[in-house]
């Protein structure tokens, strides 16, 4: 099969017939073999009834229904698990992503130049309350990840099948799939300017809180990517550094006290010096950080996935 189109959705019953018809038309015009996987993320409208009807009319349409709303990441995870196509395309169900982009995205993956291609909505039809935070968010993600993408959160993306089978999307990590892919060893990540269409039906399901959660998730994915299998390298280093600051400070305070006594100069008690308590606090925090890294290392070593690696090929003698 050439292409799997994975579409997570929540309360999009109005747009689904038009979206699936549009995707089918593009696929037939380009003679692609395809499947459309619609993941109903606990909708409380008639989305599932529409999916059932569309599936009966077109056997290429498959549906997955959640009992409740789990979020976009969960929907993508299940869609990726079910995808059988050589190339996997993700898009939103609100018709703001154009299926006409699919042939070019497929070509960029099929030609072997990229493992993943992310869409870039260079011209957007969103209010300023979304565009400005989005620019700040994308700038931060570029800085900390080293991946030169303009729009990490664009729903329109294309993947080689091995990419989606090698990453685990959880929580709210759908925003950071390029980072997860890079961590899994898929470094050929490209970008394509795509059309952004005005919303035709319904209203947006995301509020400003997603940008706050986005930054917290970014810290999580960067930390787990770099230190998930070696937490001691982070906590141990930080703990040692803070402990040494406290130790050196305590030595300076004690040496100053002894020096004053040797000169016969009356000085206050060491415990009356505020720097002594700052030094003691640093030593305690440093010790706690080091022990945190030690415990995290024990947990990591006991994990069933401690030796899970992403293998490209095997050679046999």
Q: What is the pLDDT of residues 209-259, one digit of tens each?
A: 666 666 677 777 777 767 766 788 888 888 999 999 999 998 988 888 888
- Indicate whether 247 and 221 sit together in one domain: no
**What is the average pLDDT across 108-127?**
84
Range scoring the smallest mean pLDDT among 93-107, 123-137, 140-154: 123-137
187, part of any domain: yes
Residue at 307 is within a domain: no
CATH assignment of the domain containing 150: 3.90.550.10
Assess contact for 211 and 137: CB atoms under 8 A: yes
Residues 93 and 154 in one domain: yes
Mapped onto helix, strand or coil, the DSSP state of residue 24 is helix
Shared domain for 214 and 258, answered yes or no, is no
Which residues are bridge partners to 34 per DSSP? 3
Which tokens hold the place of 219?
Answer: 């810290």
- 171 near 221, Cβ under 8 Å? no
Segment 12-24 mean pLDDT: 94
- pLDDT for the residue 236: 85
Say if residue 42 is in the same domain as residue 185. Answer: yes
Domain boundary among 200, 227, 254: 227
CA 187 to chain centre: 15
Q: What are the start-end ranges of the E strands in 66-188?
A: 87-90, 116-120, 157-160
Decide if pLDDT at 207 tops 60.
no
pLDDT, residue 309, reads 45
Q: Which residue has the higher pLDDT, 218 or 188?
A: 188
Residues 6+ apart with CB under 8 A from 98: 156, 194, 195, 197
Across residues 4-19, what is the average pLDDT?
94
| Final residue of a structural domain among 171, 194, 227 | 227
Question: Same domain for 250 and 151?
Answer: no
Is the predicted pLDDT of residue 314 greater than 70, yes or no? no
Segment 159-164 shows an average pLDDT of: 95
- In this prediction, residue 216 carries a pLDDT of 73
Q: Are residues 89 and 237 in the same domain?
A: no
Same domain, 242 and 97: no
Name the domain count of the chain: 2
Does 148 share its domain with 36? yes
Q: Residue 305: what pLDDT?
A: 58
Domain that holds residue 184: 3-227
Show which of 227, 253, 284 is a domain's final residue: 227
For 9, 120, 157, the CA distances from 152, given in Å and listed in that order, are 19, 8, 10
Q: Which of the two residues, 207 and 260, has the higher pLDDT score?
A: 260
The answer to whether position 144 is within a domain reads yes
């Amino acid at each position: 099969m050439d292409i799997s189109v994975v579409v997570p959705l929540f309360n999009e019953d109005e747009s689904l017939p038009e979206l699936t018809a549009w995707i089918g038309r593009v696929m037939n015009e380009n003679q692609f073999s395809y499947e459309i996987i619609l993941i109903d993320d606990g909708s409380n409208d008639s989305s599932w009834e529409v999916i059932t009807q569309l599936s009966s009319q077109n056997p290429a349409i498959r549906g997955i229904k959640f009992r409740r709303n789990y979020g976009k990441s969960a929907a993508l995870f299940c869609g990726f698990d079910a995808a059988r196509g050589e190339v996997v395309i993700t898009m939103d169900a609100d018709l703001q992503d154009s299926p006409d982009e699919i042939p070019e995205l497929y070509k960029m993956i099929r030609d072997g130049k990229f493992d993943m291609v992310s869409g870039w909505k260079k011209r957007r039809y969103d209010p300023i309350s979304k565009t400005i935070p989005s620019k700040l968010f994308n700038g931060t993600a570029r800085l900390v990840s080293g991946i030169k993408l303009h729009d990490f959160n664009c729903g329109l993306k294309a993947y080689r099948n091995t990419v989606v089978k090698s990453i685990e999307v959880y929580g709210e990590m759908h925003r950071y799939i390029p980072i997860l892919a890079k961590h899994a060893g898929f470094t050929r990540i490209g970008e394509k300017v795509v059309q952004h269409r005005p919303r035709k039906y319904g209203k947006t399901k995301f509020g400003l809180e997603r940008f706050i959660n986005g930054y917290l998730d970014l810290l999580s994915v960067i930390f787990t990517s770099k230190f998930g299998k070696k937490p001691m390298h982070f906590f141990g280093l930080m703990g040692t550094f803070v402990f040494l600051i406290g130790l050196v400070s305590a030595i300076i305070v004690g040496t100053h006290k002894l020096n004053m006594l040797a000169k016969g100069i009356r000085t206050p008690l060491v415990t009356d010096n505020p720097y002594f308590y700052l030094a003691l606090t640093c030593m305690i925090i440093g010790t706690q950080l080091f022990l945190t890294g030690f415990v995290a290392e024990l947990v990591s070593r006991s994990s069933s996935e401690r030796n899970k690696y992403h293998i490209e090929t095997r050679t046999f003698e």
